[in-house]
Each structure stands twice: as structure tokens, then as C-alpha cells.
């Protein structure tokens, strides 16, 4: 058996935990928290459109969390059958689960509610390390870089959602344009994360990451500066551009790409 799949038993149990959380926890949290979260936002921010964001987006997040759970099930069956694709499928499920379990914590915390999705997110962070270190046998450079690209993915989504909310409240066209751009960069960073971890990254992977990083910096930094000046505090808009700077340096500088990512391994 190849080195990357010597720990198939561990992979099987990891995938099982991911499947249970992905399907069971997401369904439970959605049906018990959806109406409560909307009511809490309306009560606390009656003049804002925060509740509207939850109305549209939380069902999508819960649904994608369930999709991740079923992908974990596919990975679990793959580990059981000693299929070499099991690690890749489980890795993709993990990235989806992380992406679609972070944002629901924000509106819950914002109104003093219990952020139940934290359970899914934190367990999947642990799965990320176990899956890549022990099952996938990836080097620490790729795993660390995958965390950075994953954070950029999550923060780009948050930027897009905040832009949509501001557009609904103020009708500013700039934020309407920014919304799909941020969300597109989120998808690009997600693809980059998976591509870096599941195999030998190709040239297109580098260019995808460089392009996404430059675009996110180009639109995120001005928005971050504007909101920082307006509110007088650090803007969350600067999170994704900050991660993008690191991504750009690693992908664009050959020495860092070769010695940090080690693409030939």
C-alpha cells in the first residue's frame, strides 16, 4: 500500500465524523436556529438588512454543509474499499465544510446567541490537520499554505456578503459590483486550496492563485481603507487582502514556491 494511504483506518473514522457533523449537525442547527437568528437580527437591528442576508444565505450554507457530509460519506466508503481517491474526496469535503461553517457563527455572535456552527468548524479544523499530516502525508509548507488560502477563501466570502448588505442598505453601486467579485475570488481560493493539497500543483494553479490574489487586493484594500476611516476601527475587509499578499508572494517568488510548497512531492 502506498504511503499516503497507510492510515486508511484513520481516514475512515475521520470521514465518518465529518459525515455525521455535515449531515446531522447542519440539519439540526438550521431547523432550530434559522427563525431565531432572523428574529434576533430584526430585534437588534430593525433599520438594517442583516436579517435579509440570513434569509437568503443560511439555507445555502446549511445545504452545502450537508453536501460536504455526503462527500465525507463517499470518502469513507473509499477508505473502506482502499480506493486511492478517498483522500482527495475527503479533502474536498473538508474544504467545503470549513467554508460553509464559518459565516453562520458571525450573525449568532453578533446578537448574543450560541454559535452552534462553531462545533462543525472547529472539528473540521482538526480533521484538516489529521487528514493532511497523517493520511495524506503532506509537508508542513503545503498544509500551512493551505490554511492561508482557506482563510482567504472564507474572508473573501465575508467581504462579498458585507458588500451585498451595504448595497441593500445604501444602494451604492460599487458594493453591488464588489459582491460577485469577492464571491468569485472565494471560489478561486477554494480551488487553489484543494489543488495545492491533493496532488502536484500545475502551472495553472499558480496563475489562478496569483490572479485571485491580485483581484482581491485590488478591490478589498480600497474597501477596507474606506470602512476603516468611516468607522474608526480595523475593517474586516482587510482580512482577505492581507491573506492575498502572502499568497501572491509564495506563488510569484520561485524560491518560496519551490522550497515552501515543494510542488514535486
Q: What is the pTM of this model?
A: 0.92
Interacting residues of 5 by C-beta distance below 8 A, sequence separation 6+:
11, 82, 84, 86, 87, 135
Instruction: Specify the number of domains making up the chain.
Output: 2
> Which residue pairs, CB below 8 angstroms and at least 24 apart, start in 139-142?
139/262, 139/265, 141/259, 141/260, 141/261, 141/262, 142/196, 142/197, 142/261, 142/262
Local confidence band at 78 (pLDDT 50, 70, 90 cut-offs): very high
Helix (H, G, I), strand (E, B) or coil at 63: helix
- 102 and 196, same domain (yes or no): no
Query: Would the pLDDT of 47 be above 80?
Result: no
Conformation bin of residue 82: beta by default, left when phi > 0, alpha when psi is -120 to 50: left
Mean pLDDT computed over 198-226 = 92
Q: Grid coordinates in use for 211?
A: 490572479
- 25 and 106, same domain (yes or no): yes
Where a domain ends, among 93, 112, 137?
Answer: 137
Query: Would the pLDDT of 259 be above 70?
Result: yes
Mean pLDDT computed over 1-30 = 86
Where a domain ends, among 121, 137, 153?
Answer: 137
pLDDT at residue 6, rounded to an integer: 62
Domain that holds residue 173: 139-265
Kindly report, residue by residue over 140-188, the tens digit of the pLDDT: 999 999 999 999 999 999 999 988 888 888 778 888 899 999 999 999 9
CB 84 within 8 A of CB 5: yes
Task: Determine what percent of the chain is predicted with pLDDT higher than 90.
Answer: 69
- 70 and 183, same domain (yes or no): no
- 169 and 191, same domain (yes or no): yes
pLDDT at residue 216, rounded to an integer: 96
Amino acid at each position: 500500500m502506498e504511503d499516503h494511504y497507510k492510515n486508511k483506518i484513520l481516514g475512515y473514522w475521520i470521514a465518518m465524523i465529518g459525515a455525521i457533523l455535515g449531515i446531522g449537525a447542519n440539519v439540526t442547527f438550521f431547523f432550530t436556529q434559522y427563525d431565531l437568528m432572523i428574529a434576533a437580527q430584526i430585534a437588534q437591528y430593525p433599520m438594517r438588512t442583516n436579517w435579509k442576508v440570513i434569509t437568503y444565505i443560511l439555507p445555502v450554507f446549511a445545504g452545502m454543509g450537508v453536501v460536504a457530509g455526503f462527500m465525507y460519506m463517499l470518502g469513507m466508503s473509499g477508505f473502506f474499499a482502499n480506493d486511492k481517491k478517498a483522500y482527495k474526496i475527503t479533502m474536498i469535503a473538508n474544504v467545503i465544510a470549513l467554508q460553509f461553517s464559518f459565516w453562520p457563527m458571525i450573525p449568532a455572535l453578533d446578537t448574543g446567541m450560541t454559535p452552534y456552527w462553531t462545533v462543525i468548524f472547529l472539528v473540521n479544523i482538526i480533521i484538516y490537520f489529521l487528514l493532511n499530516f497523517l493520511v495524506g502525508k503532506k509537508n508542513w509548507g503545503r498544509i500551512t499554505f493551505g490554511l492561508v488560502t482557506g482563510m482567504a477563501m472564507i474572508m473573501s466570502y465575508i467581504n462579498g456578503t458585507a458588500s451585498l448588505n451595504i448595497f441593500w442598505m445604501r444602494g451604492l453601486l460599487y458594493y453591488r459590483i464588489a459582491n460577485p467579485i469577492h464571491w468569485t475570488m472565494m471560489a478561486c481560493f477554494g480551488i487553489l486550496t484543494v489543488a495545492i493539497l491533493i496532488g502536484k500543483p500545475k502551472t495553472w494553479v499558480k496563475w489562478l492563485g496569483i490572479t485571485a490574489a491580485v483581484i482581491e487586493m485590488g478591490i478589498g484594500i480600497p474597501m477596507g481603507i474606506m470602512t476603516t476611516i468611516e468607522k474608526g476601527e480595523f475593517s474586516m475587509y482587510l482580512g482577505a487582502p492581507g491573506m492575498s499578499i502572502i499568497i501572491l508572494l509564495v506563488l510569484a517568488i520561485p524560491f518560496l514556491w519551490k522550497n515552501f510548497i515543494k510542488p514535486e512531492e
